[in-house]
Amino acid sequence: MLIQIISLFPEMFPPVLETSMLFKAKDKGIVEYSYINLRDFGLGKRKTVDDTPYGGGDGMLLKPEPLVAAIEAAKAYDGNESQKAKSKKQKVVLMTPRGERFNQAKAKELAQLDNLILVCARYEGYDERVTAFIDEQISIGDYVLTGGELPAMIVTDAVVRLLPGVLGGAKSTEIESFSDGKTLEFPQYTRPEDFRGMKVPDVLLKGHHAEIEKWRNKNSRAVEQN
Ligand code: 4GS
């Protein structure tokens, strides 16, 4: 999968996407990350990307020309050797609190794509006409951030871990064992048995599998999974 990220702050991404599982996915050739600096598409000598809103109001908006030029550049790039994304399943997703709420089902859906283009807004927002060049608008929650970069990282994380070959064998079979679409998220413990006076629940120490399952069910929250 080719994941392209359009942002005014592309330097925010490598520290997160080049770490741990997200890096391993890239190292294995399962995913390619490509960062597009919106500033490169700014207008004039000053590479302007923002302007004041018609009708007045606080703050600045992203202008449509640079944003749409960046989206078109992203669409024209067809990935490195391992990712021949061109003319395959491609989607342009804009991160915005006005979008549809992100969840595991959406992550699953996006994980089917060959090419995901994530657009990160900044300032007070963007010129509404860019939405004509966007396939979907997604929000990670009902709060206002300073930019769409953290939301884009969250979407990337949730999507990449679903790509075949990213999670190790043990982990993926663990998920498959609750194959009703939900996973039971229950409290877990590891050594030591006594940590600062807090004991691991007895039932978990005894190896009685039926009792353990009962305890886990009782203390579970069902979370949509894979
Ligand atoms: C979100 C969010 C967000 C909104 C971007 C204000 C800069 C900011 N994006 N889910 N302008 N919540 N974006 O807060 O996706």
Position 193 pLDDT exceeds 70: yes
Ligand 1 midpoint to CA 136 (Å): 14
Q: Residue 11: which pLDDT band, with cuts at 50, 70 and 90?
A: very high
Position 170 pLDDT exceeds 70: no
| pLDDT value, residue 83 | 74
Q: In percent, how much of the chain has pLDDT > 90?
A: 85
Q: Which residues contact 182 (CB under 8 A, 6 or more apart)?
A: 222, 223, 224, 225
Q: Is the dihedral of CA 65, 130, 123, 151 positive or negative?
A: negative
Q: What is the pLDDT of residues 85-116, one digit of tens each?
A: 556 899 999 999 999 999 999 999 999 999 99
What predicted TM-score, i.e. pTM, was given to this entire model?
Answer: 0.92
| pLDDT value, residue 223 | 85
In contact, 93 and 116? CB cutoff 8 Å: yes
Question: Would the CB of 149 count as within 6 Å of ligand 1?
Answer: no
Q: Whose CA is nearest to atom 10 of ligand 1?
A: 139
Question: Would the CB of 96 count as within 6 Å of ligand 1?
Answer: yes
Position 177 pLDDT exceeds 50: no
Q: What is the pLDDT of residues 116-133, one digit of tens each?
A: 999 999 999 999 999 999
d(CA 104, CA 25): 19
Q: Rounded to 5 degrees, what are φ and ψ at 61?
A: -120, 150
Position 145 pLDDT exceeds 70: yes
| pLDDT value, residue 176 | 45
| pLDDT value, residue 171 | 56
| pLDDT value, residue 184 | 81
Per the prediction, the chain carries an average pLDDT of 93
- What structural domains does the chain harbor? 2-160 (3.40.1280.10), 183-222 (1.10.1270.20)
Question: Would the CB of 95 count as within 6 Å of ligand 1?
Answer: yes
**Which ligand 1 atom sits nearest the alpha carbon of residue 145?**
14
Ligand 1 midpoint to CA 122 (Å): 8
In contact, 36 and 76? CB cutoff 8 Å: no
Position 65 pLDDT exceeds 60: yes
Ligand 1 midpoint to CA 43 (Å): 24
In contact, 181 and 108? CB cutoff 8 Å: no
Question: Would the CB of 42 count as within 6 Å of ligand 1?
Answer: no
Question: Would the CB of 122 count as within 6 Å of ligand 1?
Answer: yes
User: How far lies 48's CA from each of 65, 83, 226, in Å?
Assistant: 10, 32, 42
